[in-house]
Amino acid sequence: MAKKDNVRAGQVVGDVDAFVSAPVHSPVSGTVKDIALRSHPVLGRTMAVIIDTDPADATEKSPCAGQFGADFDHSAYSVEQICEAVRQAGIVGMGGAGFPTRVKIEPNPRLPKRTLIINGCECEPFITCDYRIMLEWTYQIIAGVKLACKASGCSRVVIGIEDNKPAAIETMCKALEACRGCEHIEVAPVQTKYPQGGERQLINSLLKRTVPTGGIPPMIGICVLNVATCAAIAEAVVTGAPLTHRVVTVTGEAISKPGNYYVPVGMQVADLIDHAGGLTETAAKVILGGPMMGLAIADLSTPITKTSGAVTVLTKEAIYKAKYEKRQTPCIRCGRCLDVCPENLNPTKIAHAVKNNLLDVAADYYMSACIECGCCSYVCPANIELTGYIKTGKLLVARAKQKVPE
Ligand code: SF4
Ligand code: SF4
């Protein structure tokens, strides 16, 4: 790929041979304007292919949910076909982690999978993109579940949905009743609480099992996929279409037309905000993600990625009130941060170690096991930005290992 190259919608624009990787496809047709460093929501900056769209080819991609019904027959596809289609389509976990889906689902004799958990819990408050697709793309999701179940070799499927979404639970149950060969798939309502959408937390809620610290779900025979990822699997296997679009929740009090939007991956946050009616005068902070785990972005040319579930815009009032009220004071050793941590970590010890540049001590306190949920910062009466310290510590460790650019 080079400057001035023509690209077609769906064409691969980035790929590597590494086993744990996924290709990236252009969502639009056009001409390569540049290949340069651009802002990235997680990495800070990374190389990007910038494409000028072709005005003569303004065909907009639409969701393909209409192609799926209760009669979908997954037996027409082999395990190899499913895994290869998922790899070629560049599918990664769309709930936030972004781990390549092919690696998750393909058979692994050393770590055989028995139970497939489908994550229908929103990862954060404010976000509703997964809820909407459970209502509107129900049969497509079920098709993806059947295909993923076949590829992974699981004999049991549990779809976990939070109990504040009765319409999604009912829709999914009715659709499963209408489908043949879904006896091994059950819908399990789970308590609405944050962070229920974390895969380790969901496994514990549904199966009462614990993934070892520093381990992964396949170590206990479990594979976890998000509902949007399942929809992408169905689309890739049945239509051959790569993952170039996703549903994003645009939310917060400072956005004119909040809602769920089906958008191309790579679209600039600024363009999405414009499409959603623009910012109100009270807008003060744009967050890529939700209010708990999302990252505030200074550059609105930051792109939507395959894992971007939301854009949250907070008001000046909310920010200034929080700033005024959240003046940091010394730790009072209350232990609330320990009580609330879903990973049973000691956030205050880790944060203290990072603050004093003792990254090896932070590592001894299992800093890498932190899921960055933000609960410890949220409950701290001393307003200590514990999660911020821990995120910084993890970034410093990654930089020391040269995993992310300076
Ligand atoms: S952000 Fe805090 S509460 Fe959440 S997992 Fe990390 S240390 Fe625990
Ligand atoms: S919650 Fe805050 S004040 Fe309480 S022990 Fe943790 S860091 Fe200290």
One DSSP character per residue, 219-253 reads GGTEEEEEHHHHHHHHHHHHH---S-EEEEEEEST
Give the per-residue pLDDT at 297.
Answer: 92
pLDDT in tens, 343-365: 999 999 999 999 999 999 999 99
What's the whole-number average pLDDT of the chain? 93
Q: Does residue 344 sit within a domain?
A: yes
Determine the structural domain holding residue 22 and report its residue range: 6-53
Terminus-to-terminus CA distance in the chain, angstroms? Answer: 25
Q: Mean of the pLDDT values across residues 254-274?
A: 96
Q: Does residue 58 sit within a domain?
A: no
Q: Does residue 376 sit within a domain?
A: yes
Q: Mean of the pLDDT values across residues 258-286?
A: 95
CB of 196 closer than 8 Å to CB of 123: no
Whole-number Å distance, alpha carbon 189 to ligand 2 midpoint, is 33
174, 76: one domain? yes
Sort 220 into a burial class: Cβ within 10 Å, 0-12 / 13-18 / 19+.
middle
186, 309: one domain? no
Return the higher-pLDDT residue of 235 and 122.
235
CB of 369 closer than 8 Å to CB of 200: no
Return the higher-pLDDT residue of 197 and 325.
197
The ligand placed nearest to the CA atom of residue 348 is: 2
* Ligand 1 pocket, residue 376 CB under 6 Å: yes
96, 231: one domain? yes
Task: Grade residue 322 by pLDDT with cuts at 50, 70 and 90.
Answer: low
Tally of domains within the chain: 4
Give the per-residue pLDDT at 399.
Answer: 86
> Longest C-alpha distance within the chain, in Å?
64
Give the per-residue pLDDT at 316.
Answer: 81
Whole-number Å distance, alpha carbon 326 to ligand 2 midpoint, is 14
Other CB atoms closer than 10 Å to residue 219's CB: what's the count?
Answer: 11
85, 204: one domain? yes
* Ligand 1 pocket, residue 292 CB under 6 Å: no
Give the per-residue pLDDT at 384.
Answer: 95
Query: What three-state secondary structure class fits 4?
Result: coil
305, 249: one domain? yes
Of 324, 351, 377, the residue that ends a domain is 324
CATH number at residue 251: 3.10.20.600
Task: Report whether pLDDT(406) > 60.
Answer: no
Give the per-residue pLDDT at 386.
Answer: 96
* Ligand 1 atom, smallest distance to 347 CA: 7
96, 206: one domain? yes
Residue from 346, 384, 386, 387 whose mutation best tests the ligand 2 pocket (most atoms within 8 A of CB): 384
- Rounded CA separation 334/58 (Å): 58
The residue contributing the CA closest to ligand 1 atom 2 is 376
Q: Does residue 59 sit within a domain?
A: no
* Ligand 1 pocket, residue 373 CB under 6 Å: yes
Task: Report whether pLDDT(31) > 90.
Answer: yes
- Rounded CA separation 39/43 (Å): 8
pLDDT in tens, 99-153: 999 999 999 999 999 999 999 998 888 999 999 999 999 999 999 999 999 999 9
91, 104: one domain? yes
* Ligand 1 atom, smallest distance to 374 CA: 1
pLDDT in tens, 36-69: 999 988 778 899 999 999 888 777 889 999 999 9
